Amino acid sequence: MCKCFKKWGDEFKAFAMRGNVIDMAVGIIIGAAFGNIVNSLVNDVIMPPLGWLMGKVDFAKLAWSISTGKGNDPVTINYGAFINTIISFVLVAFAVFLLIKGLNKIQAQKKEEEAAAPTTKECPHCFSQIDIRATKCPNCTADING
């Protein structure tokens, strides 16, 4: 039975140490930290002036009271916190959109550069198209320099 657990442990270690799993873990950790930054931006920077402009409203405290619960604690629907969360989501989604748009642009440029690089050259002796790496023409067998 110990050999079975050792085998599973080795397989799990091989899985966990693959590059893409580690990259994904780093991405999740950085994403969580980025989410905290965006939440702070919304709650501490964007919403206070917005609430002030709308008549000194604190969005985080906006709620509908449904009824009084046990111990006279009101049961509320906290729609102000929900508004803050929606704004946070929109900002995170926009930041991810900009990131993906930039990455796609970089990838498209790489593909264009790869496609633009010549793969053939002309033999100076028989003028046929040959591989750019060729040092001897396969058609006329002439030596090609550079």
Average pLDDT over residues 15-33: 81
Partner residues linked to 136 by β-bridges: 143
Residue 70: the pLDDT is 67
Of 78, 99, 81, 82, give the one whose Cα is nearest residue 34.
99
Q: How confident is the model at residue 146 (pLDDT cuts 50, 70, 90)?
A: low
Is 24's pLDDT higher than 60?
yes
Domains with residue ranges and CATH for the chain: 2-117 (1.10.1200.120)
pLDDT for 32-91, tens place per residue? 888 888 888 888 888 888 888 878 777 778 888 887 766 777 788 888 888 888 888 888
Token pair belonging to 26: 């780093």
Beta strand segments in the chain, E: 64-68, 74-77, 120-122, 129-131
Q: Which residue has the higher pLDDT, 42 or 18?
A: 42
- Count other Cβ atoms within 10 Å, centred on residue 88: 20
Is 98's pLDDT higher than 80?
yes
Q: How confident is the model at residue 107 (pLDDT cuts 50, 70, 90)?
A: confident
The residues, any chain, with a CB within 8 Å of residue 34's CB and separated by 6 or more, are 92, 95
Query: Quick one: 42 exposed, middle or buried, by C-beta within 10 A (0-12, 13-18, 19+)?
Result: buried
